[in-house]
Structure 1
Amino acid sequence: MSQHPRTSAFAPTPDPLTPDRDVTHQHFRAGETVVVLKGVAGGELWGDSMRVVAPSWHTPTDEDGWRLRDATGGAQSYVTAHPRYLVHLSRRCPDCVIHLRAMEDALLARFAGREELIDCGWYTTTALGHLVHIADIRGGR
């Protein structure tokens, strides 16, 4: 069985849900484990699992955000993200379960039968360490 490389389309796959998701800063707490959903792999949603560390201003949206720590490290262990990008892993809350199921409905059928990791191209990390959804990028930055 061969390993498929990580793939990403030149144009991002539309994300019909996250940009309009209404989640307040208070929905998450320091110490919780969350996931930032980024695409599909082997018929399941995948993303980056992180730990919520501390409140942090999310400059790209001018709103309260969270400082997150990626336990696996990598090129950037800490990022700041807007709450609407996050889904609880450490507890099952109704809002996050509803969002997760809606994302599954929107994406899994579209990529049915594909086993490779598909990055939908929704996020970028700025030079200041802010995770930004393509719907939140201002002025192409």
Structure 2
Amino acid sequence: MNPPSRTPPPTPAFAPTHDPLTPARDITHQHFQAGDQVVVLKGVAGGELWGDAMRVVAPSWHTPTDEDGWRLRDATGGAQTYVTAHPRYLVHLSRRCPDCLIYLRAVEDHLLAKYPESDTLVDCGWYTTTALGQLVHIADAQSGR
């Protein structure tokens, strides 16, 4: 199994896709540590998963879920260098832990069958960033938290 691609192809396509996996993922705040390299999976590109690679910086309260979250630094910078995210959104890049590998494989099985290999980047539309810099999964945003 290859790690998710960090640099998607240049042709984006938005394809809202139901995500039954992330909202039900039971991962604790302690699973990640400051300094860990992580990815937030967002879709498919060229027959592989892709997402935003980030580094875990510090604990931070995740207001949309009212749970412990993590402050993340986007290694590529940009308009939003830091965001706060819930641990269930994250997958380790810096190490291959069993929990993240199981989740990664389940997302692969779920998405790769839906989107055949092509040069198009498919953004599944699972995440948005709030005005407070909180990365929020659509299931958490819809729950009204």
TM-score by length of 2: 0.90
Kindly provide the amino acid, as one letter, of the partner of residue 57 in structure 2: V
Q: Distance in 1 between matches of 2:143 and 2:111?
A: 28
Q: Matched residue of 1:98: which SS?
A: helix
Question: Where does the alignment leave 5 or more consecutive residues of structure 1 unmatched?
Answer: none
Match among 5, 14, 23 for residue 8 of structure 1:
14
- Matching residue within 59, 69, 72 for 1:68: 72
Measured after TM superposition, the shift of residue 108 of structure 1 is 0.3
- Give the whole-Å Cα distance in 1 for the aligned partners of 2:58 and 2:143: 28
Query: What does 1:1-141 align with in structure 2 at a 5 Å threshold?
Result: 5-9=11-15, 12-138=16-142
C-alpha displacement of 1:71: 1.0
Q: Shift of the alpha carbon at 1:113?
A: 3.1
Structure 2 unaligned blocks of 5 or more: 1-8
**Equivalent residue number for residue 4 of structure 2:** none
Identity %: 78
Instruction: Write the letter of the residue equivalent to 1:103.
Output: V
Distance, in Å, in 2 between the alignment partners of 1:68 and 1:89 is 14
Counterpart-to-counterpart distance in 2, 1:43 and 1:115: 8
Offset of 1:112 from its aligned partner? 1.2
Q: Secondary structure at the match of 2:100?
A: helix
d(CA) in 1 for partners of 2:56 and 2:84?
A: 10
In structure 2, relative to structure 1, the CA distance for the partners of 1:55 and 1:17 (3 Å cut) is: same
Q: Secondary structure at the match of 2:52?
A: strand
In the alignment of these two chains, the number of paired residues is 137
